[in-house]
Amino acid sequence: MIVTYISLIILQLFVVLLFNRQKTMDTQIKKTDIRQLSREELKDYFTEIGEKPFRAKQVYEWLWKKSVTDFDEMSNLSLALRDKLKKHFEIRYLTVATSQKSNDGTIKSVFKLADGAIVEGVLIPSGKRMTACISVQVGCSLACDFCATGKLKRVRNLNPDEIYDQVVLINRQAKETYGSSLTNIVYMGMGEPLLNYKNVLQSVEKITEDEGLGMSPKRITVSTAGIAKMIEKLADDEVRFNLALSLHAANDQKRSRIMEINESNSLEELAAALRYFHEKTGKRVTFEYIVFKDFNDTIEDARELAEFCKNVPCKVNIIEYNSIDGGKYQQADRRKVDDFAQFLEQKNIIVNIRRSRGKDIDAACGQLANKNEIANK
């Protein structure tokens, strides 16, 4: 009897040790982020484990249409299949570390990435429009003289899912705060989109496709500081979203003073690339023009801009300058901005004056610089 009891105890210990060993081995398996797999790769995986190929479509839609972050939410999969997925894959996703709401209703969020890096994104409510301003890089490498983000070191590009997640989270904020979904997305946050070309285009695909968020590409604008060869590549790829160029000066001498990238991408080169873009896509280009006091705010500056506008069908967004720490530029006088816009309108150019939003929480154009406790830890 005693021998039998001891044997049972030994057997139980053996089972516990075996279970713990298996559990340790399972946790040591390096899991793949399932959102890095394409549709075809998902099909291949399910075929290999003896599942029907349609499982790939189900999982793809859970990930990109319903934006789930937990395999247990995939309710049309069996428990056994969900366990198998959890054993081999993980879903890395962004979280909102902090958020601030401006006096004008703008909401700036600090997003924490799976590796601990952070970026910022902004929800901009304006009338019937709900716009998400999203980031594409951790930091930025272009060092534009007037931009707070440009003073940060570029750490890395964001993956398509990390860009996509910003849209999902900001859309959730829009619904919870204002009872309305996003109407527009602008790639105008941290980083240069055309220096993260492949991932940006893949993120647009996930946002616009029927198996994804299903948003119209006409509601998406990608803004660039101006990389001529990549603008031509956009044309060759026949993108369907809108293109904006951060111009800010229409002569090379001035533009090179505030934007180093102009030294390797002159206005002449950019004009040729933009003409090619329009020829291939039929799309009108937006020129973004920040008006700085005593730098680019004269009628002569407006005349140079009007001349540049002849290169391609376009519209001009005149943007208020938003001060940054240690900045040497100031916002131009309101009267001069109005005169500047009136001159362009007299040349039959479509002009919008964009008033700053979220300035009091450093959420306005050019102010995203991770100025928060999370970022500085």
List 120, 162, 192, 288, catalytic entry: 120
Nearest to 183 by CA among 239, 132, 107, 108: 132
SS3 19: helix
List 238, 260, 365, 373, catalytic entry: 365
CA distance 257 to 329: 12
CA distance 288 to 310: 15
CA distance 296 to 301: 6
CA distance 371 to 368: 8
147 labelled catalytic: no
120 labelled catalytic: yes
Angle (CA) 322 358 104, round 5°: 135
Yes or no: say if 156 and 117 are a contact pair by the CB < 8 Å rule: yes
* H/E segment holding residue 120: strand 118-126
Q: Buried b vs exposed e over 33-56: b needs ≥16 C-beta within 10 Å? A: ebbebeeeebbebbeeeebeeebb
Phi, psi of 38 (to 5 degrees): -80, 175
Catalytic positions are: 120, 365
